[in-house]
Chain A
C-alpha cells in the first residue's frame, strides 16, 4: 500500500494563544504529536477526526479535502476513514464488549482485505471479555476493547489521543505492547498524541514537537529529533539521551540477558524475550546513565564498557555538569558527568576513553521505515 500524506494547515485561538500548524505528515508507521499540555496537540487530532472546525483550517488527505473553512468544505467525521481512540475509552455502557465490537463491525465499509472480528479478538486478547460489560473492565482492558472496536471500522488512519494517560503504571505497561504492535500488525498508520517522552520514544517513528505556545518546533524521525536542542529544552537535561541501533546476537535464558552487537562492541541488557537473534533494535540511553573511564575498568558491576572516542565536551558553566559526546562507529553516545570529573580525569576531545553504560532501555525493533 502506498504511503498517503495528510496535510494540515490550522490557525485557531486556543486558551491564551494561537495554534499555528502547517505540516505534511506522511502516514507510515506511528507519528507522535508531542508537546506540553496547552500546546494544542489534542485539538489538532480532533481537527483531523472532524470534531473541531473553529478557526482557519485546511486539511487534506491524499487528494481529498476533509476540511476547508475558507471554501466551506467539511467532510463529516463519520465519513472520514479514520478511527479515533480517546483518552477516556468511551465504550458504550449499554452494550457488552461483543456489542461494542459489533457496533463498529456492522458499520464498516466494504474493503478488500478487511480486518476481521477474529483477528481483533485474538490480537488484543479479548476472548475472555466478550460477554462482559464495560463497567466491569479495568482501564487497560477498556482501552484494548476501544482499540479493537476502532480497528473494526477498517480505518486507513488511527488517531490515538493519549490512550495511556488515564492508566496507572501497571495498566500502562500492559497496554503498551498492544499499542506498539497493532498499527504494524494491521498495516494501519497512526498519529499518536502524548506528553510522555518514554511513550514517544518507544512507540513513534516520527515526531512532531509542539512548543507550549502552539507552534511546531521540530518534525522528523524520532532519533534525530530527540537529539535536537529543541527537544532538550523541552525535556530538560535530566532526560536527555541518545538513540542507538544495535543487533541481537545472543539470548541467555539462564541469566536472562540479551547480548547485542553495537558497532563491534558487546552490549548487554536485561532479556527481552520477544527478540530474535539478528533483530535490529533501537535503544535509548539517557546521558545521566553513562559514566566515563579513561581505561577499561575491572572489578565493576557495570557490564557495558564501550571503547569510544570523545568527540565533544560541552561544559555547562552555570551548573556542576558537562556533557561528553562519544563517537562509536557512525553513532553518537552522550554522557553527563560533573565538570570536576572532566577536569580531574583530564578529558580532552579526540581522546580514547570508555563509556560505562549503567542502564540500557530497549525501545523496540527498528522498522524498515525508521531506517529510512
Chain B
C-alpha cells in the first residue's frame, strides 16, 4: 500500500500557498497593471525572479532568511516556539515566493486587457472602487483568475528544490510527493516511485486539459 501522507501534504501545501498567493497576488497584479510608478519595472523583475532562478538558490536564501539565527526566524521562534525552517509554515512562505510569478503574471495580463474603462463605467454607476473591482473586474478577469490559480497550484505541487532546502524530508510535515519520489528512487523502490510519479503526471495533465477546455468553451459569452 502506498503511503498517502505525501499526497495529502502536497495538496495542503499547494492549497494553502495558492490561497495566500491569491490574497497577495491580486492587489500586487492590480497595482502593476495600473501604476505609473517608476518602481514598476523593479517590482516586475523581482516578481519574475523565481522563473529564472534555480530552485536551490531560492531555497538556499529562504533557509538563511528563515533560520532561527536570522531576525525573522528568531522572531517566529519567540512567538510560536517553533522554527520556520523544516516546518510546514516555512514551506508555505518559500512556496509563495517560488510560485509568485504564476499567480501575478496571468492576473496582470488579464487586468491590463480589461483596462480602466470598466472601472470608470462602474464608478459612474455609483460603485465604489472596491465594489467595482469585485463586481466588474473579477468576473471579467475570471479566466485570468482560473489560469493563475491552476498554475500556482500545479507549480507548487511540482516544486522540489525549494522544499528540499527549506523543509528537508520530514514525514507528515515536509515530505511532499516530489520528495517522496526522490526518496523512493534513492532507495531503489521503483514501483512506489512509479505510482507517485505516474499519478502526478496524470493529475497535471487532467488539470491542464480541463483549464484549456474551459477557456476554449468560454471564449464567447453569448446569452
Contact = CB atoms under 8 A, between A and B. Distances in A.
B128 interface: yes
Given A86-B120, A90-B120, A107-B126, 13 more contacts: A49-B120, A51-B123, A76-B128, A77-B123, A78-B124, A78-B126, A82-B124, A92-B139, A94-B139, A103-B127, A108-B126, A136-B223, A153-B124
A84 B131 CA distance: 18
B117 interface: yes
A82 B120 CA distance: 12
A303 to B, nearest CB: 47
Interface in B169-223: 220-223
Interface in B128-176: 128-129, 131-132, 135-136, 139-140, 142
A150 B221 contact: no
Nearest to A132: B223
Q: Tell me which of B127, B131, B222 has the highest count of chain A C-beta atoms within 10 A of its own C-beta.
A: B127
Nearest to B120: A51
A86 B128 contact: no
Nearest to A103: B125
A326 to B, nearest CB: 47
Contacts of B139: 92, 94
A133 B223 CA distance: 6
Interface of A: 49-51, 76-79, 82-84, 86, 88, 90-94, 96, 103-104, 107-109, 131-133, 135-136, 149-150, 153
A153 B121 contact: no
B116 to A, nearest CB: 8
Given A92-B140, A103-B135, A135 B221 contact: yes
B221 A104 contact: no
B54 interface: no
Nearest to A51: B120
A107 B135 CA distance: 12
Contacts of A82: 124
Contacts of A77: 120, 123-124
A135 B125 contact: no
B221 A94 contact: yes
B27 interface: no
Interface of B: 117-118, 120-129, 131-132, 135-136, 139-140, 142, 220-223
A136 B221 CA distance: 9
B123 A76 contact: yes
Contact of B125 (A51, A94, A104): A104
30 contacts: A49-B120, A49-B124, A51-B120, A51-B123, A76-B123, A77-B124, A78-B124, A78-B128, A78-B129, A79-B126, A83-B124, A86-B121, A91-B121, A92-B118, A93-B221, A94-B139, A94-B140, A96-B223, A104-B126, A107-B126, A107-B127, A107-B131, A108-B126, A131-B223, A135-B220, A136-B223, A150-B124, A150-B125, A153-B125, A153-B126
A92 B126 contact: no
Given A88-B117, A92-B140, A94-B139, A107 B125 contact: yes
Contacts of B120: 49, 51, 77, 84, 86, 90
Nearest to A50: B123
Contacts of B117: 86, 88, 90
B77 to A, nearest CB: 45
B124 A136 contact: no
B221 A133 contact: yes
A78 B118 contact: no
A91 B131 CA distance: 17
A31 to B, nearest CB: 18
Contact of A92 (B124, B129, B136): B136
A53 to B, nearest CB: 13
B121 to A, nearest CB: 4
Contacts of A91: 121
Quick one: which of A88, A91, A94, A150 has the most chain B CB within 10 A? A94
B123 A92 contact: no
B222 A135 contact: yes
A272 to B, nearest CB: 34
Contacts of B125: 78, 83, 103-104, 107, 149-150, 153
Contacts of A84: 120-121, 124
By CB atoms of chain A within 10 A, which of B117, B118, B121 has the most? B121
A104 B132 CA distance: 12
A131 B124 CA distance: 23
A345 B142 CA distance: 75
